[in-house]
Amino acid sequence: MFEVGFPDARTGWPFSDDSTISVFCRMQSCKEDGMSAYVSVAYSPSYAKRGSTFSPNVHPIVDPSVGTESVRKNLVTEVKLRQLKRQFYTNVPSSYVKNIIDGVVPKIGVNFEEEKELYQIKLSDITRPDSTISCKCSIELNQVRHLVIDISCLDKNLDLRLMLSTKRILTSLTDDEKQSISNLISSAILDPDVKGGLRWPFGKESSGDRYSVIGVWHIKAKAYTNSSVRLRVRDADRFDFRSSAGEVAREITLKMTGLVSQLRKVEVESVSDQLKDTLKLVWDHFLSSACSFT
């Protein structure tokens, strides 16, 4: 059983049932076709404390004999019912980010790894209507979210999202496909005055009848790592061409790199221990009510 909602009084964090881990293991068929899995944690101001319709308790029952597809369908049905009016807003204030970098980073033992600035272009592909192509240093399909749990932390300043997703690098593109995508990217014009930082000349937002630009992100990110986790702090300036809407967000994610390696080995006991340790770290340091939100 999943238990998503109020913190468990015995442990001080929101998961009180070890069978949560078995779902992670059954969801981890991610190594085929160049796919790689990761679990991330995101944070947002707590809408549940401001009268939102966020439902704090989700209880899908998971039988160990049930296959991945059945679990996925049950979770999707549950999630669809509960997401009708729910939002998870990941933008956090600069004071919170400063507290994480200056206070939490030294405490949890992660070391600065890199700082980078990049542009990320989102393309639609008429032959893949349900997917988005994301172009950075590589060309990859959009993430597939196998499991998303939003946790309302009522006695904290922030809520928590726990997610298991996969992504796949596109390595089998034809020369024509590569050229079409390359033409779209090379047509982009740097413009700091527009949302996302890039714009396209009139008529250059698409390539033939197949690829079209549907979004652009301008990202400035810092990463901190140790053997178990990777903390990323990023400023993202986004623009969605379909809705003509843009946003600027400051976000923090925690990737559980050590747990992912255990998922691939399907070592349930080790996964359980690492998940508990990481979520306790998040609960103790990243959701603290001592953080400033001014």
How confident is the model over 115-129, as pLDDT tens digits? 999 999 999 999 988
Residue 169 has pLDDT above 60, yes or no: yes
The continuous run of DSSP H or E covering 78 comes out as helix 68-82
Q: Which residue has the tokens 């140790």?
A: 226
Pairing verdict, β 139-141 and 132-135: antiparallel
- Strand ranges, E, within the chain: 35-45, 111-125, 132-135, 139-141, 144-151, 158-168, 189-190, 198-199, 206-207, 211-225, 230-240, 245-255
Q: Which residue has the tokens 């250059």?
A: 204
Fold of 20-285: mRNA Triphosphatase Cet1; Chain A (3.20.100)
The pLDDT tens digits of the residues spanning 245-282 come to: 999 999 888 888 877 777 777 667 777 788 888 888 88
The structure tokens listed for 189 are 């014009």
Domains of the chain by residue range: 20-285
Looking at residue 193, its amino acid is D
The pLDDT tens digits of the residues spanning 191-203 come to: 999 999 999 999 8
Looking at residue 289, its pLDDT comes to 46
27-36, 77-86, 196-205: which has the minimum mean pLDDT? 27-36
Residue 39 has pLDDT above 50, yes or no: no
Please give the mean pLDDT across all residues of the chain. Answer: 72
